[in-house]
Every structure is written in C-alpha cells, then in structure tokens.
Amino acid sequence: MNTFFSQNLRLLRNRMPEKTSQEKLAELLEIKKPTLGSYESGRAEPKYADLIKIAQFFDVEIDELLKEDLSKRPAGIRRSNLRILATTVDSENNENIEFVPIKALAGYTASYDDVDFIQELPTFQVPFLSSDKKYRVFPIKGDSMLPLQSGSLVFAEYIENWHDIKDGTICIVVTREDGVVLKKINNHLAEKNVLILNSTNTLFDPYPILGSEIQEIWKFAGYFQEEFPN
C-alpha cells in the first residue's frame, strides 16, 4: 500500500473542525476505532469498503488518497469543486463547440485537460444551442449503442457535478481504460463511488466503473449520422 494513505488520513482528520479525534471520526465513518488507528499508523492496509467510505466522506478520489500527497493541496479545497474544463472561445469570447475527430479520440483520453491539445481541435458554433452550456462533439465507434450507428457524431453537454446525473441518462463517459464511450448510466457514486454503464444493444453486458477512473462526463444532447436510423 502506498505510504501516502496513512499520512493523508491523519492530515484529513486533523483538518476537520474542533480537532476531531480518532474515536469521533471512526464513529462518523462507521469504522472501529482500532481499525482506524491502524490505518493512520500504517500498521494495516485498508479494506476496499473502508477506502470508499473514507474517500466519500472527505470528498476525494481513492487514487488521491493512495498516490497523492494531500498536504501539498491547500486546506479546504476539494476535488469535486476543482473539476476544470479545458476549452476554447471565438474572437468574441463565445464558447466554441470543439469537435473531437476519430483520429484524436485516443489522444483525448490522455490530453482532455491539456489546453494546447484542446486548442488544436476543430471548432464551430451552433446558434440554437444554449449559450450558457458547454458542448463538445464526439464520434462513436462500434455497435453497442444501436440504433445509433458507428461513426455517428454525438453532441454532448458538459456535466460538472456527476452526483446529479439521473439513472437512465445517456452520456459520453471519458475513462482512463476504456477511452471515450457512449453509455446509459446508473448512478451509484454517492453510496458506492461507482457508475454502471449500460449499452442500448442488449448483446453487450453492463459493467461498473469507479469514480476514480472517470475523467469527464458529457450528457447526450443530439446526434448526426449520414444514414436514417433503423
């Protein structure tokens, strides 16, 4: 287990108001006090269920608890409030709609937050889309979302707060491992830090993905395809 975990857990508890004790935090987390103490001292590796509880309680990702020195992050700043979108604007400071071509999909997964990468994408404007929302266009590949055909272009609206996504919402989900996928979501982030991704093609099984694996989520807003859907 990465040594940052015990260090981060002590740090986060000490940053709580009124000098929260191990006993009080253990009560809030519904973890036994000796277990919490062994986590803080590094004498025991945390159970996965406890990792989820701790990450949710402090509003950080599991990867951050394990791999990042949180002491270098200013107190009071939470990841969910710092989800920053790399974007572009036109000459009149209006938000562009960026188009991610097929050839850029693989690079997008690694560079979605890289301003230089995003600025190289083709851009355009669509007057009838809401000016107070952010849109991007992604091509979809494969037949997991039939009747939407492979090669269709999906217009999608940026979602900042993932916890507000309602079950059954169709979204572009940008993930570390699977890249850019279009799926219907069942949202269990609040209680389990997991999304269940479903295809509209029943030949494809649903599968879970941890919140820590998600990079961006965009809500389906429309599509363009060259052939009429069957």
H-helix segments, the chain = 4-14, 22-29, 33-41, 48-58, 62-67, 105-111, 115-119, 189-192
Note whether 188 and 202 are within 8 A (CB): no
Residue 186 tokens read as 């069942």
Neighbours of 201 (CB within 10 A): 13
Instruction: Per-residue pLDDT tens, the chain, 230 aa: give them.
Output: 557 899 999 988 888 766 788 998 999 899 999 999 999 999 998 888 888 889 888 888 888 888 888 887 655 444 444 456 889 988 888 889 999 999 999 899 989 988 899 999 999 999 888 888 999 999 999 999 999 999 999 999 999 889 889 999 999 999 988 899 999 999 998 888 899 999 999 999 999 998 888 999 999 999 999 887 76
* Burial grade of 198 (CB within 10 A; 0-12, 13-18, 19 or more): buried
Tell me what pLDDT residue 79 has.
Answer: 47
What is the full DSSP assignment across 99-132? Answer: E--GGGHHHHHHHTT-HHHHHTS-EE--TTS-TT
Structure confidence by residue, pLDDT tens digits, 148-198: 999 999 999 999 889 889 999 999 999 988 899 999 999 998 888 899 999
H-helix segments, 94-224 = 105-111, 115-119, 189-192
Neighbours of 226 (CB within 10 A): 8
Note whether 185 and 173 are within 8 A (CB): yes
Note whether 18 and 25 are within 8 A (CB): no
Domains observed in the chain: 4-81 (1.10.260.40), 97-224 (2.10.109.10)
Amino acid (one-letter) located at 83: R
